[in-house]
């Protein structure tokens, strides 16, 4: 996006990509259909040490700007849920569109091009690669985060930032499945594949969506979202009856179906195998008439805030994003240019700006790229 924007403004642009093709994360995103933006994008959908940093770029390049481009290229798309836009056919069309836009803006793209060294050359920069030495007035670092090393992710951007005196805030995996160990894992692992709607809460953040039990722990959109706010040791609670008052539900069952057992009734709201397990491990299973009010209250509390003890995350191997990164304090929020090194820019995921699940990370990549491309 940065190359396209700068190229359209008449700049001579070279994109240096060390992988054998560009946009691998776009290709694998959204299950191969690329959730390319979210129509409800706001700065509140991002995590950053400076929550204001993303505002200017997001305001100047909105989801509708990107949607315009998608429509101009006649790429069919649909909204899946919550403003999330996906291609009807394939993520390949988004990569094709960006490459076509690059071509028409006169941008040169070099793949399989590994950077050996970058040096400031007053003025400008010198980039030594396996394909020769390139000199430029400006250098834009768009090398992403650490997630999915198998796809070409590297710590290169952070290294470069440090080389030029920038602070890099600690990084960790975000939008990532949580792992369980010991008893919590034994209690759930054989239910791998079971999914249901929950509300997950940690550190004051709340997400309602589905949760999936895996053979290592838990995943699914609600868990991926909360994983960006959770760190090992932090409390995590799961409302198993989202949108309902658990005590009301239990009391209604007691009044209307006193002979029915708890596990049978819970099995009408939750997957039966999970309801059964809940009643083996966390809740006493009896006919509803046998519970007194204090017991109902205790059970309601467990259902509303089921304490899931996660031991960690699956890490960068499966994480969709990297939290932390180049400290935005050293970067202009309107141009993405380094405050201390003229002509050096940082855009996309390498910066300490991380979006929620749902198209927000690509929208940040497009918006920050557009901001830099307009300023170069
Ligand atoms: C499995 C998966 C699914 C995802 N799905 C979605 C989704 O549907 N919607 C969404 O909004 N976000 C999604 N994301 C997040 C999104 O892909 C990233 O936030 C986004 O791609 C970041 O863009 P970027 O340009 O900053 O970095 P990247 O897309 O990571 O691009 C960085 C590029 O730099 C190259 N590079 C790295 N080091 C070097 C080097 N030393 N020299 C030369 N080149 C280098 C890499 O090969 C790569 O091509 C997903 C992520 C993953 C892992």
Rounded average pLDDT over 267-294: 97
Q: Looking at the predicted structure, is the pLDDT value of residue 85 above 90? A: yes
Name all contacts of 128-131 with Cβ < 8 Å and 24+ positions apart. Answer: 129/16
Pocket lining: 84 vs ligand 1, CB cutoff 6 Å: no
Rounded average pLDDT over 49-74: 98
pLDDT score at 149:
85
151 Cα nearest atom in ligand 1 = 47
Residue in 17, 143, 162, 366 to alter for ligand 1 test, most ligand atoms within 8 A of Cβ: 143
pLDDT score at 216:
97
Q: How far, in Å, CA of 282 to CA of 266, rounded?
A: 13
Q: How far is the CA of 140 from the centre of ligand 1 (A)?
A: 15
35 Cα nearest atom in ligand 1 = 8
pLDDT score at 275:
98
Pocket lining: 320 vs ligand 1, CB cutoff 6 Å: yes
Ligand 1 atom 27: residue of nearest CA: 144
Ligand 1 atom 9: residue of nearest CA: 359
CA torsion angle 274 276 281 284 (round to 10): 130
Cα–Cα nearest to 36, from 364, 309, 270, 267 = 364
pLDDT score at 153:
84
Pocket lining: 349 vs ligand 1, CB cutoff 6 Å: yes
pLDDT score at 290:
98
Q: How far, in Å, CA of 111 to CA of 33, rounded?
A: 23
Ligand 1 atom 19: residue of nearest CA: 361
| Tens of pLDDT, residues 202-246 | 999 999 999 999 999 999 999 999 999 999 999 999 999 999 999
Read off the DSSP letter of residue 338. B
pLDDT score at 152:
74
pLDDT score at 146:
95
User: How far is CA 363 from each of CA 34, 66, 119, 210, rounded to the nearest angstrom?
Assistant: 12, 8, 31, 23
Ligand 1 atom 14: residue of nearest CA: 320
Residue 307: band (very low, low, confident or very high) from pLDDT cuts 50, 70, 90? confident
Ligand 1 atom 48: residue of nearest CA: 143
* Backbone CA torsion sign across 231, 232, 235, 236: positive
Pocket lining: 191 vs ligand 1, CB cutoff 6 Å: no
| Tens of pLDDT, residues 99-143 | 999 999 999 999 999 999 999 998 999 999 999 999 999 999 999
Kindly tell me the burial class for residue 195, based on how many C-beta atoms sit within 10 Å of its own C-beta (0-12, 13-18, 19 or more): middle
- State the average pLDDT for the chain: 97
Read off the DSSP letter of residue 44. G
Q: How far, in Å, CA of 15 to CA of 77, rounded?
A: 27
Give the Cβ contact number of residue 132 at 10 Å. Answer: 9
Grouping H, G, I as helix, E, B as strand and the rest as coil, residue 259 is coil
Q: How far is the CA of 201 from the centre of ligand 1 (A)?
A: 28
CA torsion angle 73 77 79 83 (round to 10): -20
The proportion of the chain whose per-residue pLDDT surpasses 90, expressed as a percent, equals 97
The proportion of the chain whose per-residue pLDDT surpasses 70, expressed as a percent, equals 100
Residue in 78, 111, 173, 320 to alter for ligand 1 test, most ligand atoms within 8 A of Cβ: 320
Q: Looking at the predicted structure, is the pLDDT value of residue 200 above 90? A: yes
pLDDT score at 301:
98
144 Cα nearest atom in ligand 1 = 27
Ligand 1 atom 33: residue of nearest CA: 143
Q: With contact defined as beta carbons under 8 Å apart, do 22 and 111 qualify?
A: yes
| DSSP for 178-206, written as a single string | EE--HHHHHHHGGGTT-EEEEEEEETTEE
User: How far is CA 236 from each of CA 108, 211, 222, 232, rounded to the nearest angstrom?
Assistant: 48, 13, 12, 10
26 Cα nearest atom in ligand 1 = 17
Rounded average pLDDT over 279-295: 97
Residue 25: band (very low, low, confident or very high) from pLDDT cuts 50, 70, 90? very high
| Tens of pLDDT, residues 138-161 | 999 999 999 988 877 889 999 999
Q: How far is the CA of 204 from the centre of ligand 1 (A)?
A: 28
Q: How far is the CA of 322 from the centre of ligand 1 (A)?
A: 10
Pocket lining: 144 vs ligand 1, CB cutoff 6 Å: yes
* Backbone CA torsion sign across 129, 365, 22, 5: negative
Ligand 1 atom 36: residue of nearest CA: 143
Q: How far, in Å, CA of 343 to CA of 337, rounded?
A: 7
Q: How far, in Å, CA of 266 to CA of 261, rounded?
A: 9
């Amino acid at each position: 996006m940065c190359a396209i924007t700068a190229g359209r403004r008449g700049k001579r642009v070279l994109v240096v990509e060390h992988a054998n093709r560009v946009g691998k994360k776009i290709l694998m995103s959204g299950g191969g259909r690329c959730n390319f933006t979210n129509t409800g994008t706001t700065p509140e959908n991002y995590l950053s040490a400076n929550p204001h940093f993303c505002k200017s770029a997001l305001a100047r390049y909105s989801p509708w700007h990107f949607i315009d481009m998608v429509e101009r290229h006649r790429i069919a798309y649909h909204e899946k849920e919550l403003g999330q836009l996906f291609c009807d056919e394939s993520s390949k069309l988004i990569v094709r569109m960006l490459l076509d836009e690059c071509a028409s803006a006169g941008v040169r793209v070099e793949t399989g091009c590994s950077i050996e060294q970058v040096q400031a050359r007053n003025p400008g920069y010198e980039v030594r690669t396996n394909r020769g030495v390139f000199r430029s007035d400006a250098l834009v670092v768009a090398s992403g985060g650490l997630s999915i090393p198998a796809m070409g992710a590297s710590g290169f951007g952070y290294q470069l930032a440090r080389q030029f005196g920038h602070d890099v805030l600690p990084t960790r995996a975000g939008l990532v499945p949580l792992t369980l160990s010991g008893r919590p894992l034994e209690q759930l692992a054989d239910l791998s594949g079971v999914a249901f709607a929950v509300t997950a809460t940690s550190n004051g953040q709340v997400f309602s969506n589905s949760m999936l039990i895996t053979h290592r722990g838990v995943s699914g959109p609600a868990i991926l979202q909360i994983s960006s706010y959770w760190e090992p040791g932090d409390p995590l609670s799961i409302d198993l009856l989202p949108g309902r008052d658990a005590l009301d539900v239990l009391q209604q069952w007691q009044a209307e179906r006193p002979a029915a057992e708890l596990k049978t009734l819970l099995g009408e709201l939750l997957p039966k195998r999970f309801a059964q397990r809940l009643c083996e491990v966390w809740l006493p299973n009896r006919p509803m008439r046998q519970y007194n009010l204090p017991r109902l209250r205790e059970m309601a509390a467990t259902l509303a805030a089921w304490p899931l003890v996660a031991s960690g995350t699956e890490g960068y191997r499966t994480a969709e994003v990297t939290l932390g990164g180049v400290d935005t304090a050293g970067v202009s929020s309107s141009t993405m240019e380094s405050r201390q090194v003229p002509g050096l820019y940082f855009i996309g995921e390498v910066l300490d700006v991380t979006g929620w699940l749902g198209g927000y990370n690509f929208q940040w990549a497009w918006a920050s790229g557009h901001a830099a491309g307009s300023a170069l």
